[in-house]
Every structure is written in C-alpha cells, then in structure tokens.
Amino acid sequence: MKIEIKLKHKTIKRFAWQDNKIPLILANNFFTKNEAKMMTLEPTIFEKVNHWLRGDYDANTKNAIQSLLAKNDITALTDAFYQDLDFGTGGLRGIMGVGSNRVNKYTIGGATQGFSNYLLKTYPNQAIKVVIAHDSRNDSDTLARITAEVFAANGIYVYFFKELRPTPMLSFAIRALGCQGGVMLTASHNPKEYNGYKAYGADGGQLVAPHDENVMTEVRNIQNVKDIKFTGGSHNIELVGEALDEQYLDELVKLSISKGAIERQKDLKIVFSPIHGTGGVLVPPVLRRFGFENIILVEEQNIPDGNFPTVVYPNPEEAEAMALSMKKAKEVDADLVMATDPDGDRVGVGVKNDKGEFVLLNGNQAACLLIHYMLTAWEKSGKLTGKEYIVKTIVTSYLIDKIAASKNVECFNTLTGFKYIGEIMTKLEGERTFIAGGEESYGYLVGEHARDKDAVIACAMIAEMVAYYKDQGSSLYDALLSLYATYGCYQEKLISLKREGKKGAEEIQEMMKNLRSNPPLTLAGSGVVMIKDYENQISYDLANTKTTTIDLPSSDVIQLFTADGSIISARPSGTEPKVKFYCSVNAPLHRKEDYAMVQQQLSEKLNAIMRDLGVA
C-alpha cells in the first residue's frame, strides 16, 4: 500500500508500508531523508494525522501535531487519532487536545454540525430551537460559544446561557423554552484534563437510541472540515439567564413535602461546596427558598475554576473531594454536609453517625434514603394511587426494589446512565407519575421538571430529609439503620480499573470477553445461579437451566447472581477509560446495635468476591 503526503504544498513523497506499520519521516515540516527521525504508526492513524496536517485546520492545531511528530511521541499520536469521539453513557467525553479522539473546536464543531443536520432532517419546515449551557471547566465557555455559532450558522435559533449553569438547568430549559434539542458543555466529574458534550432531545433527556446513533451517523458523514459552518448566524443567538432561573427554582419549591419540619428546623447547619463548579449558582438559592437559613459555604471551593485547585479529582464520590467540606463541618458542628460535582448533577453527602462522628454516605445509601422518604411521604398523604413509579439502574442497590415493593410502587431497572431513566419518564409521561429516581454514582432526581439527574433538587430534598428526622428527634443516619433493620443490611463496593489509550481499551475488551466466555462458578463460597449478559440480551438461569431474553438495549454488561443474594456487575465505563466492577452483598440486621458487626462481615465477603474475580 502506498500513500502520498504533501506538506506546505511544497514537498511530496511516497511511502510504502508492510505489516500495518508506516515509516514516517519528518524534519522541519518537510519529508526529507537527510533531516529526519523514524517512527511507526498504524496506517489508519497515519492517514488521519496526514488528513489533519493537509486539511483546513488552524495553524495552532497543525503546530501541535507537528510537535508530537517531532518528539516521536507515537503513543500520544495513537491515542489522539486511533478513533473518533463517539457518544457514550454521558455523550461525547475526552481529554482536551488535538486529534479526532480529543475534545477540541473541530470535534465539537463536527458534533454540532452533525446534530444540526439531524435536527434539520427530523424537523423539516419548522423553526428549530436549541439551548446551550456550560460548566466551569477550562474552555467550556469557548466550546459552548463555538457550539452556539455552529447551530446558529445552520439557521437554528439558540438560547445561550450567558453564564455557567448546572446540567439539570439545561434539561429544564429545553422543555420550558419549547426547544427541539440542547447541548451541555461539560465532562461532569472527570479530571481537569477532560471536557465533553452532552446532547439532549426535545424531551430534555440525553439522546438515546436510535437518535444518538443517527446523530453520530450525520457526524461521520462530514468528510471535510469545510463542511462545518463555524460562522454566519450570530443573529440567531439569544442570551438567557436569571428569568429562567426563577422559573426553575419555583418548580423545585413545589416539591417540598415537609414544610413544617423545615420551619421548625430552619437553623439546621448545612455545609455546602460546589467543588469549583456550577452548584454554587443555584444550590444555595434553592436551600433558602425551601426555608433553610444557616448555609455555610466552603469558601476555598466556592469560586468556579476549571483547574479544580483544591482537589485531585472533582468527584463527590471520592472522599478526597469531600475532605474540605468534612473539615468545615467538624469546625462548625454541622448537621449536614453536601458537595456537588462541576456540572451540578451529582451530590455527595456527609452526616453524623450514632457516635457523633461525621461519615460519608455512598450513592446507594443516599438513593435508598431519598426514595424511601419520598414514597413514605406519598403513602402517608394518601397520594399513592397505583400509577406511581420510581426508576433506578441495574447497578444500583436492590434495596430500593424492596422498598418500592413494600409500598406497592413499581420500580423500573434501566441500563447505567441517567438518560435511560429519562427515557422511561418520557414514555410514561401523562400516563403515570414519576416520584423519584437514582443511580449509585450519586445522581438523583425528584419530580418531573427535568429528564436528567439534578443535584440542585437533590440537595434541597436531602436537607429536608435531615430536617424531618431531626424534628422527630432522630437523624438521617438512624433512618438508614432503620431501613437496614427492616429490609436487610446492604453493602456495596465499586472497583474501577483504569486502562488508558488504545492499548487500555483493548485490555478492557479482553477482560470483558474473558468474563463472558469463562465466568466464575462460585464467588466467596456461594454458587453463581444466574448470569445476565446484556450485550447478547440473554439471562441464563443456571439453577433451572433456562434462558430468557433481557428486554433492554444491548450493552456491554455482565451480571452474576449468587445463591446467597450477592450481585456482581462488570461494565466498561461510558465516560472514562475504566472497567468497573460493582458488588452488592446483604444480610439480615436483627438489631441496630449489631450494625458494625454485620457490616464487617459483609465487608469481608465483598473483599472475598473481588479476590475471586481477580480485581481486588
């Protein structure tokens, strides 16, 4: 095979390769034999690199590529070009930089041009409108402006948030403004090197099949950067801001169900941190609207900053990210600690235990408490009619299923990703009533104002829960123990194995392939009685030698169910270069006083299961 290369329209050389390796010679931006360094790239990657060097990309982009070439940085070039960014669990997401597998003006511009083409085909002869918002990440504002300009240049009317706003606000705005779509520029809780692009449909939910794939088909059909309309429609852009905030906050306040308890506990000490993100815009205002008057901010993290200078990883799932909030809570003797991720859709929670010590709740615990609180309140007020429902993901605690069953409320289980929860909400809108939903990764939604997880309403309702239990002389921690005593004590553990770049992606694929073809027969001494293969959409009942079809979209997930009630799920992350292993175990809790002992036993079982899986 041969390839012809032209740089600066001056020098042309022909090279041949064998065994899928290309000798690439570069010196002073010219291909010469005398001033050159040798390096090897796979042919498809080589062609992409050459395409970007020859194409209508700006000088800074080409210089950055040339710099990698000059350094012989094959790994960086491979990782930047071996694939195109594609929609995962949370839209497009990747490291910022040059290349087809990186977040930059061209990949974001191409995604928006493809989205524009899709909308124009889907809504012919209609006035199409979209909403654009962004978080505090580096370049999020710039990428949001590029996104808005591309939509506008395609004749699509754009509502553009003039300042950073949380993701749930974007979801709400799409429906409130009667738009056909929207985009949030964010990489959620990923490290500072990342950015991303969450694409939404007319229902306010992230795109799901077939719409996500249809958009990506349009993106892939863009063969030349010239096909992206970067300019020419600024008159189609309208700035939005405070008026929409008020409309959103008004909707959230309607969801309060314990107003009397809040009035009596309005001095509840609440420590809050937005971890340098968007949560600071709307969480303190909604807490005040609910009636809370003693909100203590973590000042070091209150200023939006895409470098996230006080944390390694801006993710409230990580204890390190919650450290400053917990420190402040101890200083002021707070009743509740909460911190949100950069785009304001996840929240971490800290409370006092029965010894007066501050502890962090995990995402499963917070979801169980929130959903139990909502269902119990609806039950007591006589609002449960049989048409209500909740939604969770298949990797989220099955304690929630038990709670829902006890209230005769249907619990739907979806694939991982809140977009699937939103999809069910849209399908059932007008027929049934959504009460709440959640996922173990610290994302929750109460009410039907949005179609994505919402840390703003979650913070308000969690604070209300704390006020409610305190008003009864109890605590959120004691409420958790009561749940365990009633339904069984549950403990979950998540292990994430990070595997970066092209090589890492291949390792993850091999790991999943091996688990699928050679699953363990026992885990921690208990036999595996059922295997659910969501990629092939088949459930294997090993005890009864039966197979059934899984009525969910195909997804690369394997679940193992053991005879003693343990559930292990494995899936590659849709937003990070990781493969995740979720493990849930449970046992009876006959007395609250035995909680520490039972938890220790469950912890030992979790560790044994992870060792048996080879991921401990």
Instruction: Please state, in angstroms and rounded to a whole number, the distance separating the CA atoms of residues 474 and 459.
Output: 19
Does the structure show a pLDDT above 90 at 167? yes
Does the structure show a pLDDT above 90 at 402? yes
Instruction: For helices 501-517 and 74-81, give the axis angle rounded to 10 degrees.
Output: 60
Q: Which residues of 251-289 are buried (b: 16+ CB within 10 A; e: fewer)?
A: bbeebbbbeebbeebeebbbbbbbbbbbbbbbbbbbbeb
Q: Do domains 92-240 and 258-487 have the same CATH topology?
A: yes
Domain boundaries, the chain: 2-81, 92-240, 258-487, 489-613
**pLDDT tens-digit profile of 493-516?**
999 898 888 888 888 999 999 999
Mean pLDDT of the chain: 91
What integer pLDDT is reported at residue 87 of this predicted model? 78
What is the arithmetic mean of pLDDT over 554-583?
Answer: 91
Q: Is the C-alpha dihedral spanning 381, 386, 390, 394 positive or negative? A: positive
Does the structure show a pLDDT above 60 at 63? yes
Q: Which of 100, 188, 258, 325 is catalytic?
A: 188
- 188 Cβ contact list (under 8 Å, min separation 6): 90, 93, 167, 196, 341, 342, 343, 345, 346, 575
The answer to whether the CB of 118 falls within 8 A of the CB of 214 is yes
**pLDDT tens-digit profile of 347-363?**
999 999 999 999 999 99
188 is catalytic: yes
The answer to whether the CB of 270 falls within 8 A of the CB of 296 is yes
Higher pLDDT, 17 or 340: 340
Q: What tokens does 370 get?
A: 């929130």
**pLDDT tens-digit profile of 574-616?**
777 889 999 999 999 999 999 999 999 999 999 999 999 988 7
pLDDT tier for residue 72 given thresholds of 50, 70 and 90:
confident
Kindly indicate whether the domain formed by 92-240 is annotated with CATH number 3.40.50.300. no
Q: Which CATH number fits domain 489-613: 2.40.50, 3.40.50, 3.30.70, 3.30.310?
A: 3.30.310
- 204 Cβ contact list (under 8 Å, min separation 6): 171, 172, 174, 175, 182, 422, 450, 451, 452
- Taking the mean position of all CA atoms in its chain, how far away is CA 121? 28
Beta bridge partners of 559: 532, 569
Does the structure show a pLDDT above 70 at 12? no
Instruction: Please state, in angstroms and rounded to a whole number, the distance separating the CA atoms of residues 560 and 542.
Output: 11
CATH number of 258-487: 3.40.120.10
Decide: residue 15, CB within 10 A, 0-12 exposed, 13-18 middle, 19+ buried: middle
Beta bridge partners of 444: 438
What is the arithmetic mean of pLDDT over 218-236?
Answer: 94
The answer to whether the CB of 140 falls within 8 A of the CB of 222 is no
The answer to whether the CB of 388 falls within 8 A of the CB of 371 is no
Instruction: Please state, in angstroms and rounded to a whole number, the distance separating the CA atoms of residues 449 and 451.
Output: 7
What integer pLDDT is reported at residue 89 of this predicted model? 63
Q: What tokens does 136 get?
A: 């505090």
**Is 0.85 surpassed by the pTM of this model?**
yes
**pLDDT tens-digit profile of 410-447?**
999 999 999 999 999 999 999 999 999 999 999 999 99
